[in-house]
Structure 1
Amino acid sequence: MKPRTALSTLTTAVVSAVAGFAALCAATAAQAPAPSTKTFQFVLQNGLQVVVVPDHRAPVITQMVVYKVGAVDDPPGISGLAHFFEHMMFRGTRNNPGGAFSQNIARAGGDDNAFTTHDYTVFHEQIAKDKFRLVARLEADRMAGLDLSENAVMAERDVVTEERRMRIDNDPQALVLEQAEAALYLTHPYARPVIGWPEEIRRIGRQEAENFYRRHYAPNNAVLIVAGDVTPDEVRQVAEAEYGPVQPRELAARIDYAQPRRMGENRFVVTRKDAKVPLFLRLYRVQSYADAPAGAAESLELLARLMGGDATSALYRKLVVERRIATDASVSYDGYARDSGQFSISVTPRPGVPLDTIERAVDEVISNIQRRPPSKEDFARAKTQLVAGAQFRRDSQFEMASAYARALAVGLTGFDVQQWPARVQALKPAQVQAAAAEALNRNEAVTAYLLPKP
Structure 2
Amino acid sequence: MRLFKFVLIFALLFIPFTIHAAVYPVRNSNSNGVKEYKLKNGLKVLIIEDHKAPLATFQIWYRVGSKDEPRGKTGISHLLEHMMFKGTPKYGSKVFSNIIQRNGGTDNAHTTKDYTMYHQTLSSDRIGLSIELEADRMRNLLLDPKEVMNERNVVMEERRMRYEDDPQSSLYEEVISAAFKAHPYQWPVIGWMSDIASIERKELYRYYRSYYSPDNAFIVISGDVNAKDVLPKIKKNFGNIKPSKRNVIKDGTEEPQQSGERRVYLKKEAELPYILMAYHVPSFPHEDSFALDVLSTILSAGKSSRLYKGIVHEKGLALNVFADYSGFHRDPFLFVFGGTAAPKKNIEDIEKAIYYEIEKVKKEMPSEREIQKAKNQIEASFVFAQDSTYSRAFYVGMFEMLGNWRLMEKYLEGIRKVKPEDVQAAAKKYLVDDNKTVGILVPTKAVRSE
2:124 to 126, 129, 138: 129
Distance 1:55 1:371 in 2: 48
Say whether 1:370 aligns with 2:372.
no
Shift of 1:440: 1.1
Which amino acid in structure 2 is aligned with residue 261 of structure 1?
Q
Aligned to 2:211: 216
Distance 2:126 2:37 in 1: 22
Write the mapping of 1:30-429 to structure 2, written as runs, cut at 5 A.
34-36=29-31, 38-251=33-246, 252-272=248-268, 274-290=269-285, 292-293=286-287, 296-411=288-403, 413-429=404-420
Describe the shift of the 1:450–1:233 C-alpha distance in structure 2 as closer, same or farther (beyond 3 A): same
1:403 counterpart SS class: helix
Distance 2:392 2:410 in 1: 13
Given that 2:368 and 2:419 are in contact with CA atoms closer than 8 Å, whether structure 1 keeps it comes out as no
1:453 to 427, 444, 448: 444
Which ranges in structure 1 are unaligned for 5 or more consecutive residues? 1-7, 13-20, 23-32
Distance 1:191 1:37 in 2: 41
Which amino acid in structure 2 is aligned with residue 415 of structure 1?
R
Aligned to 1:438: 429
Distance 1:366 1:146 in 2: 50
1:35-55 Cα distance to aligned partner (Å, 9 max, x none): 337211111111111111121
1:67-100 Cα distance to aligned partner (Å, 9 max, x none): 0001011111111001111111011111111100
Which amino acid in structure 2 is aligned with residue 253 of structure 1?
I
Shift of 1:105: 0.2
Shift of 1:305: 0.6
Which amino acid in structure 2 is aligned with residue 171 of structure 1?
D
1:46 counterpart SS class: coil
Given that 1:387 and 1:424 are in contact with CA atoms closer than 8 Å, whether structure 2 keeps it comes out as no
Shift of 1:453: 1.4
1:139-189 Cα distance to aligned partner (Å, 9 max, x none): 000001001121121111111111101111110110100010001111210
Distance 2:348 2:85 in 1: 46
Given that 2:85 and 2:96 are in contact with CA atoms closer than 8 Å, whether structure 1 keeps it comes out as yes
Given that 1:284 and 1:439 are in contact with CA atoms closer than 8 Å, whether structure 2 keeps it comes out as yes
Identity %: 34
Given that 2:50 and 2:225 are in contact with CA atoms closer than 8 Å, whether structure 1 keeps it comes out as yes
Distance 2:104 2:244 in 1: 33
Shift of 1:245: 2.1
Given that 1:38 and 1:54 are in contact with CA atoms closer than 8 Å, whether structure 2 keeps it comes out as yes
Which ranges in structure 2 are unaligned for 5 or more consecutive residues? 7-27, 446-450
Shift of 1:387: 0.8
Shift of 1:410: 2.4
Which amino acid in structure 2 is aligned with residue 341 of structure 1?
F
Aligned to 2:18: none
Distance 1:399 1:418 in 2: 17
Task: Please list every run of at least 4 consecutive aligned residues from structure 1 whose deviation after the TM superposition is greater than 6 angstroms.
Answer: none
Which amino acid in structure 2 is aligned with residue 35 of structure 1?
N
Distance 2:346 2:202 in 1: 51
TM-score (ref. length: structure 2) = 0.90
Shift of 1:260: 1.8
Describe the shift of the 1:329–1:346 C-alpha distance in structure 2 as closer, same or farther (beyond 3 A): same
Which amino acid in structure 2 is aligned with residue 340 of structure 1?
P
Which amino acid in structure 2 is aligned with residue 210 of structure 1?
Y
Distance 2:177 2:235 in 1: 43
Shift of 1:416: 1.5
1:374-426 Cα distance to aligned partner (Å, 9 max, x none): 12332222111111112222222111111122221122x22222443343222
Shift of 1:234: 2.3
Distance 1:373 1:390 in 2: 27
Larger mean Cα displacement after TM superposition, 334-343 or 175-184? 334-343
Which amino acid in structure 2 is aligned with residue 151 of structure 1?
K
- Measured on the aligned residues, the alpha-carbon RMSD in Å equals 1.9
Shift of 1:116: 0.6
Given that 1:185 and 1:285 are in contact with CA atoms closer than 8 Å, whether structure 2 keeps it comes out as no
Distance 2:65 2:388 in 1: 26
Given that 1:35 and 1:394 are in contact with CA atoms closer than 8 Å, whether structure 2 keeps it comes out as no
TM-score (ref. length: structure 1) = 0.90
Given that 2:397 and 2:405 are in contact with CA atoms closer than 8 Å, whether structure 1 keeps it comes out as no
Which amino acid in structure 1 is aligned with residue 313 of structure 2?
V
1:175-214 Cα distance to aligned partner (Å, 9 max, x none): 1000100011112100011100000101100110111011
Given that 1:43 and 1:49 are in contact with CA atoms closer than 8 Å, whether structure 2 keeps it comes out as yes
Given that 1:278 and 1:449 are in contact with CA atoms closer than 8 Å, whether structure 2 keeps it comes out as yes
1:381 counterpart SS class: helix
Distance 1:92 1:67 in 2: 18
